[in-house]
């Protein structure tokens, strides 16, 4: 195990410890110790902290774009901004994405589409021409050694990329519909996020 990974794990342990100490101190100061209820709150907050930092892949932002499909506004394109938690080699060719809308579950595979953002718009990038509802690709924002584009590898904590994919035609989203997206990386822990379609006030929206 490399020094950078050991350092990252150590930082995670310290962060969890400091967070739990902070929670305890805050409850003492505010006098909000209510027995079982407080214990349940501690458990929930602890779970949220661990869920947020124990995965190798962080999801920093999630956006979608509405299109008019069969006379109604539906989200068809999704872009997830991700970066690794610590410096390590993540082989994205082994990454799989699962989509679950409560009615059906589908898997998306990586087909080698990775390009730099350059001066283009995320949702108007030419990479979308290669997305067909069964695959996903990457738009690189920061990748100093071009490891993603040339070698299908994210290898530094400073790497920042968008995972982009079109939803299958029977999974496009209207307002208030939810979709659970799960990333299954080649190493590390899976990462899931629940996306809920907001009001289509404008074409490009941010999921809560």
Same domain, 72 and 107: yes
CATH code for the domain of 165: 2.60.40.10
| pLDDT tens for each residue of 19-58 | 555 555 445 444 555 455 566 776 666 655 554 454 478 8
Range(s) of the domain holding residue 35:
3-53
| pLDDT tens for each residue of 116-158 | 998 789 999 999 999 999 999 999 999 888 888 888 888 888 8
Same domain, 45 and 66: no
pLDDT value of residue 182: 95
Q: Helix (H, G, I), strand (E, B), or coil: what is residue 196? A: strand
Same domain, 90 and 125: yes
Mean pLDDT for 157-179 is: 94
Q: Which of 53, 71, 87 is the last residue of a domain?
A: 53
Same domain, 162 and 77: yes
Same domain, 141 and 38: no
Strand ranges for the chain from DSSP E: 57-69, 72-84, 90-91, 96-100, 105-116, 135-142, 153-154, 160-166, 178-184, 191-196, 204-206
pLDDT value of residue 107: 97
Same domain, 157 and 185: yes
Q: Which pLDDT band holds residue 84 (cuts at 50, 70, 90)?
A: confident
């Amino acid at each position: 195990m490399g020094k950078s990974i050991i350092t990252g794990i150590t930082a995670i342990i310290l962060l969890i410890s400091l967070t739990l100490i902070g929670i305890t101190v805050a409850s003492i100061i505010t006098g909000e110790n209510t027995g079982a209820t407080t214990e349940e709150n501690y458990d929930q907050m602890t779970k949220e902290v661990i869920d947020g930092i124990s995965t190798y892949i962080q999801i920093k932002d999630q956006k979608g774009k509405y299109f008019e499909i069969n006379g109604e506004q539906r989200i068809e394109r999704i872009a997830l901004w991700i970066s690794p938690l610590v410096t390590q080699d993540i082989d994205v060719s082994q990454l799989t994405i699962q989509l679950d809308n409560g009615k059906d579950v589908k898997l998306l595979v990586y087909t080698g589409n990775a390009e730099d953002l350059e001066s283009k718009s995320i949702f108007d990038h030419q990479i979308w021409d290669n997305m067909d509802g069964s695959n996903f690709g990457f738009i690189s924002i920061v990748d100093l050694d071009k490891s993603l584009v040339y070698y299908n590898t994210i290898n530094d904590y400073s790497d920042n990329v968008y995972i982009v994919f079109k939803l299958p035609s029977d999974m496009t989203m209207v307002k208030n519909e939810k979709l659970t997206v799960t990333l299954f990386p080649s190493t590390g822990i899976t990462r899931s996020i629940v996306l809920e379609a907001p009001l289509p006030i404008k074409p490009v929206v941010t999921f809560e």
